[in-house]
Amino acid sequence: MADFGGDLEPFRAEARGWLEANFPASLRQGAAPADPEAPETPTADQALWRRRMGEKGWGVPTWPADLGGGGLSPAEARVLRDEMERIGAPNPIGGMGVAMFGPTLLEYGDEAQLRRHIPPIVKGELRWCQGFSEPGAGSDLASLQTRAEDKGDHFLVNGQKIWTSGAHLADWCFCLVRTDPKAKKHEGISFLLIDMKTPGVEPRPIRLINDTTPFCETFFTDVKVPKENLVGPLNGGWSIAKRLLQHERSSIGSPARAGQAGPGVLGGPPIQELARIYVGLGDDGRLADGDIRARLTSHLMDAKAHALTGERIALEARSNRGPTTASSIMKNAGSMLRKEKAELAVEIMGHQGVGWSGEDFTEHEINAMRVMLRSKSGTIAGGSQEVQNNIISKRILGLPDTTHST
């Protein structure tokens, strides 16, 4: 049945009261929230907010209460989200552990793995990274060659991963490895958890065009991994990986993420206000540049439609099973919206939007160019636009596979 929520007012009052009592006052004054993936040390109040939300379990509101989660219904989680937005409280619990690995482990992990790994994710105590792509296995991920040999009480892992987000900062890695090189490529893969402090693990940051290092190439040289770190059946990792990728695409394509590119999340004004500041208003009270006005209006309409679609998908869910193949649609639309918004922000700023450093540019102006450059990679992350289009055509539209040998 669809989740219509029932009488949610008692819970709304509870959530509002708890947030008023526990969200630090200093963060209500516009201080930026601590980024779960950033290396910077959080302020005292940012750390306090993360600890309080972690102890309450509301950073992951629908996760099981017996594992530290909030134990809320989807309807209650939406009320909590609304109340957090009302007070301006960001969710300080995030990262790949929340968006990708945790939900997957809740489906496929055994009891010992759940008890070991879920509580630290709930509290924001550990960082996770994703060991999927390899230099020779990107969109064709099943061609991966990182080997995990059975050595009795452990696996011995050797190989290389690429574009490993945050590997140099991570405590653990959820990794796809080949455990049966003789099997068909989709059937010889296993899902393994690797402690990044294990001898032989070497992440090397990659500097991007926007002068940041969010990604790494990661090398595994004779890395010993205990057998209990195998999630799911041996050689059954591909099914788990596909499920995890649905969670990843759902996160990339979420309405919240779609609004992240460009000023408005960098501490600067929303893009509408940005246009008023840099473009200016005409005598009629409208933006002086008609082309910018039309494109900004079109973008805002698309963003609103994307947000409403996300709400509809959530409301129409018949269970709490998580994302479906519809995540491919949302991923494609969301990543394009982020790219479009970032490009619009730079264009709205004019020459002030192309600064790289120096006193002639504000922090927001310098960040705008960096965000714009980074936003283009979103159409590749989590599976390229072309891969998502194939999924949409085959699994949603039911179109025939037209590939054939010549």
Active site residues: 248
Tokens 């049966």, residue located? 180
Query: Which residue, 401, 268, 263, 242, is CA-closest to 324?
Result: 242
Tokens 């552990």, residue located? 97
Alpha-carbon distance of 92 to 52, in angstroms, equals 10
Cα 65 off chain centre by: 23
Distances (CA, A) of 210 to 204, 303, 354, 371, 400: 17, 25, 12, 8, 40
C-alpha count within 13 angstroms, C-beta hemisphere, residue 188: 16
Distances (CA, A) of 304 to 178, 195, 259: 43, 41, 10
Alpha-carbon distance of 75 to 389, in angstroms, equals 31
Question: How many other C-beta atoms are found inside a 10 Å radius of the C-beta of residue 207?
Answer: 10
Alpha-carbon distance of 124 to 266, in angstroms, equals 22
Question: How many other C-beta atoms are found inside a 10 Å radius of the C-beta of residue 403?
Answer: 6
Cα 24 off chain centre by: 25
